[in-house]
Structure formats: C-alpha cells, structure tokens
Amino acid sequence: MKWSPRSVCDLYRRRWDIVVFFKQVKQSLKLGSFLGHRANAVRWQVYTALLVYVLLRFKAQGSSCPVCGTAVIFFW
C-alpha cells in the first residue's frame, strides 16, 4: 500500500490530537487510586471520569469564563 504525503500528514495530525487529548485527561483526572480492584470497577471509574471530563470541557468551551473547566478535581 502506498500513502501520499498529504494522507500521512493528515493521519499524523489526527493521531497527535488524540495523544494530546489523553495527556490532558491523565493530567486532569488524577486517577491515582481506584475504589475497586476488579477490572470492571476500574473500567467504570475511568469511563465515568472521562465522561465528566468531556462534559466539563464542552461546558468550558461554551462559557465566557476563561478558566471554567480547566481545573478538574475529583474526590473519590
């Protein structure tokens, strides 16, 4: 399979957006300790944290407050 330079650049740009998103999530969510030790409990906690993160980012984009939604603190 042969890729054009433009296709490679587009794929890399999309990949980089995903990497940046997960880096922001890791830094913001502070998932250092989990409530449960089973895979399902950890999975649900991560899914819930991701959902809250995405909702807060969505709210921050529509808000006129420049710092709203940038500092996410979880008390689990």
Domain count for the chain: 1
Q: pTM value?
A: 0.51
Helix, strand, coil % over all residues of the chain, rounded to 5: 65, 0, 35
Domain for residue 40, yes or no? yes
Domain for residue 55, yes or no? yes
**Residues 8-32: tens digit of each pLDDT:** 898 888 898 888 877 877 777 777 6
Report which DSSP code applies to 71: S
Please list the alpha-helical segments (H only) found in 1-76.
Answer: 5-29, 39-62
How far apart are the C-alpha atoms of 49 and 29, rounded to whole Å?
Answer: 7
Structural domain including 24 reads 5-62
Find out whether 46 and 31 touch, Cβ atoms under 8 Å.
yes
Angle at the Cα of 60 (from 11 to 69), degrees rounded to 5?
Answer: 100
Domain for residue 39, yes or no? yes
